[in-house]
Amino acid sequence: MRLPFYIFGGMEQFTFIDLFCGVGGFHIALESLGGTCVFASDIDEECRKVYFDNFDLEPAGDITKVNEKDIPAHDVLCAGFPCQAFSKAGYRRGVNDPRGTLFFDIVRIAKYHKPKYLILENVRNLASHDNGNTWRVIRYNLRELGYNVSDEPIIFSPHYLGIPQHRERVFILCKRKDLGELPSFTFDKKNRPASDAFSILQPDDEIENLKKYRLSKREITLINLWNEFLIIVKNDLPGFPIWSEWLKELDDIDYLHFYPKWKQDFIYKNSRLYSEHKTKIDSWLVEALKNKDFTGAKAKFEWQAGKVSSPNLWDTIMHFRPSGLRVKAPTHYPALVAITQTSIVGPLKRRLTPRECARLQSIPDCYKLHSTDRIAYKQLGNSVNVEVVKMFAKLLLE
């Protein structure tokens, strides 16, 4: 059974393949423009199951084991190829990393089939990785294959379209040279629509097992503790990370020169902030240190919600990260990622549900998500935003 993703938008019908298909962000986008998927592949069994459930198409497994001759002819090749090799979180060995060489499987398939268009997506870091060499290798290979490719990759995020997720990604659009020049792409980021983090929320009474998304008492206590800190420094909202161990006066035994310069800067700023609010911070620290959760990353704080007159964490979007409790204005969420914790919606005192994360990727509500939340979050964190792909596919194909 097919889902009703198909909304023919006046474009000619076409076929496409979905490499590294994940949960099928490309599939939803291209099908809604009149495309028919003729082949998909993903090495991950859970992705293949979800994909089959939704699209009635069984993806192949490891693409390195698929002979290009066994892939049907197609007009568009889509690939959100794995990003660990380029990602800031990974080892960053780029096209020399075995995971980076999957790009050459795309080249192998495109060389054999010569599809009219290629739409590739990757992490933002790919653009600057290895001083731009990785991008140059990719561009060179695609041009050698016979495609028009822009000099620079496009960097785009759903929040530019008013979708409340900040997810800057690289998009590489390729058009076979015999079909003419690439359409030019310009976007006025300054006049973009506003986004509202609360617009994607499910009403609480619609959420099955709401309890599991609610913050625990301990998390609430910890957030309240940081809220008290915020009240102390409200006229001095820190534009730098707060490391509570450095909320003190510095002395000779602190050996700051052992730290890199950037770290020294933050330490000085923490110490200066402390000096300005010494008495209040001292009393706050006494209370904070009584809390046994106030340690490691939980004793760090990153205010990234800009200037506000009466800051209150329960009005914001929060995220427990290895670098501390990060706070954002309620306009958009940080990028969904496959590895870290899900964003917290301050006013609701709960985390985002998988359905809400799917909405951040513009995946329609009729999509059947994986029934295990942990896997659903991971899959959605790896996925691509459907509306962004749709915009680029329309531009390229129309």
Ligand X SMILES: C[S@@+](CC[C@H](N)C(=O)[O-])C[C@H]1O[C@@H](n2cnc3c(N)ncnc32)[C@H](O)[C@@H]1O
Q: Summarize as ranges the residues that interact with ligand X (CB under 6 A).
A: 20-26, 41-44, 47, 62-64, 80, 82-83, 102, 382-384
End-to-end CA distance of the chain: 28
Supply the minimum distance, in Å, between the C-beta of residue 141 and ligand X.
18
119 close to 134: Cβ distance less than 8 angstroms: no
Supply the minimum distance, in Å, between the C-beta of residue 26 and ligand X.
6
Active site residue 83: yes
Burial classification of residue 395, based on how many CB atoms lie within 10 Å of its CB (0-12 exposed, 13-18 middle, 19 or more buried): middle
Identity of the residue, 26 or 303, whose beta carbon is nearer to ligand X in the bound complex: 26
Q: In whole angstroms, what is the distance from residue 49 CA to residue 385 CA?
A: 20
If one counts every other C-beta atom within 10 angstroms of the C-beta of residue 258, the result is 8
- Which member of 83, 174, 357, 366 is catalytic? 83
Q: What's the half-sphere exposure (Cβ side, CA atoms, 13 Å) at 4?
A: 2
166 close to 157: Cβ distance less than 8 angstroms: yes
Q: In whole angstroms, what is the distance from residue 345 CA to residue 351 CA?
A: 6
Identity of the residue, 43 or 329, whose beta carbon is nearer to ligand X in the bound complex: 43
Supply the minimum distance, in Å, between the C-beta of residue 38 and ligand X.
16
Supply the minimum distance, in Å, between the C-beta of residue 9 and ligand X.
20
Identity of the residue, 167 or 332, whose beta carbon is nearer to ligand X in the bound complex: 167
Supply the minimum distance, in Å, between the C-beta of residue 142 and ligand X.
18
Identity of the residue, 102 or 197, whose beta carbon is nearer to ligand X in the bound complex: 102
Identity of the residue, 163 or 215, whose beta carbon is nearer to ligand X in the bound complex: 163
Identity of the residue, 269 or 394, whose beta carbon is nearer to ligand X in the bound complex: 394
Q: How far apart, in Å, are the Cα atoms of 292 and each of 195, 218, 229, 389?
A: 37, 10, 17, 46
Identity of the residue, 155 or 289, whose beta carbon is nearer to ligand X in the bound complex: 155
Supply the minimum distance, in Å, between the C-beta of residue 46 and ligand X.
9
Q: In whole angstroms, what is the distance from residue 266 CA to residue 271 CA?
A: 9
Q: Comparing C-alpha atoms, which of 2, 48, 7, 50 is closest to residue 30?
A: 7
Q: Which residue is nearest to ligand X (CB)?
A: 22
Supply the minimum distance, in Å, between the C-beta of residue 228 and ligand X.
40
Show the CA angle centred on residue 184, arms to residues 182 and 186, nearest 5°: 155
Question: Which residues are catalytic, by number?
Answer: 83
